């Protein structure tokens, strides 16, 4: 075994676990294991000796190859690829040899932070066959401090895949079946396991490590599958894949209007845009048919694939493309073509075309949309091989017209200057470009038909994506109306953001606190920037999940303190560990449960594992300044549980020598807690209603089950009546009540909650400006009248219609 290579801090800052990064591609280690640093300096330096093998064209990331062959990716900030290079100044080029501490990339922290989601910088071990050792997160580090060591792992022996098969029958719960991102997640889940797993659908089967092979199975919602695995980790592999197939579909909430293919235009991303028509024009390069020495062509293909991977940005779509670039079946097809004398470029293009034909042959419109992803990864590799196409410039603000647009083409257009909108003759409402457009707030219409391709270059057009209308050369009246609507939308957004930092009051002056829900240190910074007046819910389980060992006292204390510091003294409400059989901890034995939602979760697990909860409470008790942290218990059902929990908090404070009482609250998530709110409020310092769980328990509808998920609506009269019962009981003792479920950010719910007596709303940071803006337009009397009528309604749909009718234009968002 070669000696370990130490990786050092590329700048001073706060070191944390990769799971704290606010992006699932990094947080879920899809790119590989690693750590992350919140920087305190404006220069990224080499963490070790190595060679620069990739440098993002936008200057926001760099990949180094170490002496032992491992590769380390350093990625400054999250969503920084969208900055198009603004704020970054690379000091090296691909091929440069660098030494530890050498300057790699300078950056302007203020400029980058203003345009990015976070400055937190992942440092990722992006090479299979290597492992991190001696990594200790949650601490302050100086530039050059040791972070972790990289060691080569021994290859699995051939007989590791021997033994009896482990099998499991599963029914697909994913609403859209196994499409690109679930397929990529499945492959990623198997990356560190010694197992060969086949997914069998009737007479067809596929290697679970191959996203493309999984796609060609055309697995749909409610299909029955057989999972069969061999190898030392066969049981873990089957368990991991079965859990993923049972998850809710990521696409179900990523595309604003996912719809089946239609005969007319379809909205893929809502919005209004006005601008000149710009046709997307690509000049394709020539690809040689014959290659040279097969070994050299294989080496060239490997290098091109690795370079293409290194250039991919953030997000689930990039993860799906990364999985395609590393797909074992594509690679095998390409290698066979190379061995037959073809060039690396010709072989790779042919391999992707073979799988594209297989996807088309399924006849499944959603899978056919994935053909664009195959074309995209083919083009990325061809570009690295020197055979790529050239994209003609597109003016910023233009309405892009094309038959279809690849994700990489969209990213290139976005970097050059955001387009006004996209109008595609083909495409699909659930394509990856549709998701990218929705995330970027770019209006987009798909399946508009070939007639749109005749639009004159440079002609002024109006794209009303919400209405699926594309109008070229509109008459003056229509153009003026569209310009007025666009100006009003922008003015609303600017007005909301301008007042986001001000305290929230109703139109009659009633103070309503608007807090933020957090899940990591980075979220706290975003919440403060968005105008949060405190944290109404810190989901502390982010520290405990996806790891092999329990977080120690020091790690927990440092993390909680970092979040409290980021909140600058504002209230920080922390929910104690809320896990169970549905979110198991690898280091705590948890037997499988038939119904985890009704099992040993939340406070029940805390009481069953008192040492686990006592350590968390001890860490929370030491956070400074005293009084900032407030602790609440999840899944409480009666006063006896509250008393036991309060005693544990008091004991932790006493052992820590903390004299200031720590406020203790209760999560109202069960109908029992809502009905007994008067008893709980008599002894609690505050109550916080978790509308997500309260709704599923009240309506007997599992929010993780696609068959019942559509029933989950916190505006159902039954749920509203439980909230009313809770606020009435709390008012008897002057106990404040907040909302930390998703209803707190729903503009249709906000006036009802205020009318029912809620004094604090805690939502995601992105909803704060809109919630505060709405509160300023309603009076308490109006909210109470509206809530009273909602309690008498027959259904959630009737309640929503009631609010829309009463508030009208006040519900408009920027």
Q: Which residues are catalytic?
A: 432, 740
- 432 Cβ contact partners less than 8 Å away, ≥ 6 residues apart: 180, 317, 320, 369, 372, 373, 407
SS3 391: strand
Tokens encoding 801: 């219609």
With helix as H, strand as E and coil as C, how does 191-232 read?
CCCCCEEEEEECCEEEECCCHHHHHHCCCCCCCEEEEEEECC
SS3 266: strand
* DSSP-derived secondary structure letter, 590: -
C-alpha radius of gyration, the chain, whole number: 27
Helix or strand (DSSP H, E) at 394? none
Report the distance separating Cα 80 and Cα 790, nearest Å: 44
What are residue 671's phi and psi, to 5 degrees?
-55, -35
**CA dist 514 to 335, 685, 686, 746, 748, Å?**
57, 18, 16, 13, 16
Q: Tell me the Ramachandran region of residue 79: left when phi exceeds 0, alpha when psi lies from -120 to 50, beta otherwise.
A: left
Report the distance separating Cα 301 and Cα 344, nearest Å: 5
- First-to-last CA distance in the chain? 58
- 477 Cβ contact partners less than 8 Å away, ≥ 6 residues apart: none
Helix or strand (DSSP H, E) at 518? strand 513-518
Burial (CB < 10 A; 0-12, 13-18, 19+), residue 168, is middle
Under 8 Å between Cβ of 733 and 681: yes
- 61 Cβ contact partners less than 8 Å away, ≥ 6 residues apart: 54, 55, 73, 74, 75, 76, 80, 81, 310
- Half-sphere exposure in the Cβ direction for 796 (13 Å, CA): 15
Tokens encoding 568: 């600058």
Helix or strand (DSSP H, E) at 121? strand 121-125
Using DSSP, how many helices (H) and how many strands (E) does the chain show? 28, 35
Helix or strand (DSSP H, E) at 573? strand 572-575
Under 8 Å between Cβ of 286 and 389: no
Dihedral of the alpha carbons of 29, 32, 38, 41, in degrees to the nearest 10: -160
The closest alpha carbon to 601, from 652, 665, 544, belongs to: 544
Within 10 angstroms of residue 601's Cβ, the number of other Cβ atoms is 22
Encode 420-454: b = buried (16+ Cβ within 10 Å), e = exposed.
Answer: bbbbbbbbbbbbbbbbbbbebebbbbbbbeeebee
Helix axes 371-384, 407-416, angle to 10 degrees: 70
Under 8 Å between Cβ of 53 and 65: yes
């Amino acid at each position: 075994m070669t000696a370990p290579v130490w990786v050092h801090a590329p700048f001073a800052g706060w070191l944390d676990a990769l799971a704290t990064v606010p992006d699932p591609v990094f947080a879920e280690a899809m790119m590989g294991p690693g750590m992350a640093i919140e920087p305190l300096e404006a220069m990224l330096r080499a963490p070790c000796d190595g060679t620069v093998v990739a440098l993002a064209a936008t200057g926001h990331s760099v990949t180094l190859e170490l002496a032992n062959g491992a590769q380390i990716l350093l990625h400054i900030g999250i969503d920084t690829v969208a900055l198009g290079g603004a704020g970054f100044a690379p000091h090296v080029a691909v091929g440069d040899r660098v030494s530890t501490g050498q300057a790699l990339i300078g950056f302007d922290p203020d400029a980058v932070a203003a345009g990015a989601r976070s400055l937190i910088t992942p440092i990722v071990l992006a090479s299979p066959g290597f492992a991190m050792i001696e990594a200790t997160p949650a601490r302050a580090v100086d530039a050059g401090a040791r972070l972790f060591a990289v060691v080569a792992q021994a290859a699995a022996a051939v007989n590791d895949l021997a033994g009896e098969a482990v099998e499991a029958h599963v029914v697909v719960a994913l609403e859209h079946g196994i499409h690109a991102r679930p397929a990529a997640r499945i492959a990623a889940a198997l990356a560190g396991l010694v197992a060969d797993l086949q997914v069998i659908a009737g007479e067809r089967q596929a290697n679970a490590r191959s996203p493309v092979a999984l796609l060609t199975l055309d697995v749909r919602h409610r299909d029955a599958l057989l999972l069969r695995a061999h190898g030392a980790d066969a049981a873990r592999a089957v368990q991991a894949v079965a859990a993923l197939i049972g998850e809710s579909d990521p696409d179900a909430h990523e595309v604003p209007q996912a719809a089946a293919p239609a005969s007319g235009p379809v909205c893929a991303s809502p919005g209004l845009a006005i601008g000149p028509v710009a046709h997307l024009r690509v000049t394709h390069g020539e690809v040689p048919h014959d290659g040279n020495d097969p070994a050299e062509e294989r080496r060239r293909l490997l290098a091109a694939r690795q370079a293409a991977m290194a250039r991919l940005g953030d997000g689930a779509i990039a993860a799906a493309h990364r999985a395609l670039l590393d797909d074992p079946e594509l690679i095998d097809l390409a290698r066979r073509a190379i061995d037959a004398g073809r060039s690396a470029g010709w072989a790779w293009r042919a391999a992707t075309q073979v799988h594209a034909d297989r996807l088309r042959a399924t006849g499944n419109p959603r899978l056919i949309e994935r053909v664009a992803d195959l074309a995209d990864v083919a083009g990325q590799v061809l570009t690295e091989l020197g055979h790529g196409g050239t994209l003609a410039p597109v003016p910023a603000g233009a309405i892009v017209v094309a038959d279809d647009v690849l994700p990489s083409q969209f990213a290139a257009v976005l970097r050059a200057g955001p387009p006004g909108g996209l109008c595609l003759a083909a495409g699909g409402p659930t394509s990856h470009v549709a998701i990218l457009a929705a995330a970027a707030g770019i209006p987009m219409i798909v399946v508009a038909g070939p007639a749109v391709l005749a639009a004159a270059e440079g002609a002024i057009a109006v794209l009303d994506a919400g209405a699926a209308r594309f109008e070229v050369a509109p008459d003056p009246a229509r153009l003026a109306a569209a310009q007025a609507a666009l100006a009003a939308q922008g003015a609303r957004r600017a007005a909301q953001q301008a007042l986001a930092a001000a305290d929230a009051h109703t139109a009659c002056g009633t103070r309503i606190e608007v807090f933020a829900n957090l899940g990591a240190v980075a979220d706290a910074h975003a919440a403060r920037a968005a105008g949060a007046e405190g944290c109404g819910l810190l989901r502390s389980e982010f520290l405990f999940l996806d790891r092999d060992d329990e977080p120690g006292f020091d790690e927990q204390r440092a993390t909680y303190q970092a979040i409290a510091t980021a909140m600058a003294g504002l209230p920080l409400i922390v929910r104690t560990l809320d896990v169970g059989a549905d979110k198991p901890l690898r280091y705590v034995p948890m037997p499988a449960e038939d119904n985890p939602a009704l099992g040993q979760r939340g406070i029940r697990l805390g009481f069953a594992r008192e040492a686990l909860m006592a350590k968390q409470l001890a860490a929370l008790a030491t956070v400074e300044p005293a009084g900032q942290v407030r602790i609440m218990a999840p899944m409480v059902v009666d006063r006896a549980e509250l008393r036991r929990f309060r005693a544990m908090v008091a004991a932790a404070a006493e052992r820590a020598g903390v004299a200031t009482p720590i406020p203790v609250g209760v999560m109202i998530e069960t109908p029992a807690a809502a009905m007994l709110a008067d008893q709980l409020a008599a002894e609690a310092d505050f109550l916080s209603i978790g509308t997500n769980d309260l709704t599923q328990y009240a309506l007997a509808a599992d929010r993780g089950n696609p068959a019942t998920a559509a029933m989950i609506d916190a505006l159902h009269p039954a749920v509203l009546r439980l909230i009313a019962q809770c606020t009435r009981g709390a008012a008897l003792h002057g106990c404040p009540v907040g909302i930390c479920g998703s209803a707190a950010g729903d503009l249709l719910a906000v006036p009802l909650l205020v009318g029912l007596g809620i004094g604090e709303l805690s939502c995601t940071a992105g909803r704060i400006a809109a919630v505060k803006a709405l509160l300023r337009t309603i009076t308490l009397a109006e909210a109470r009248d509206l809530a009273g009528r909602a309690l008498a309604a027959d259904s959630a749909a009737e309640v929503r219609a009631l609010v829309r009718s009463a508030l009208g234009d006040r519900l408009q968002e920027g």
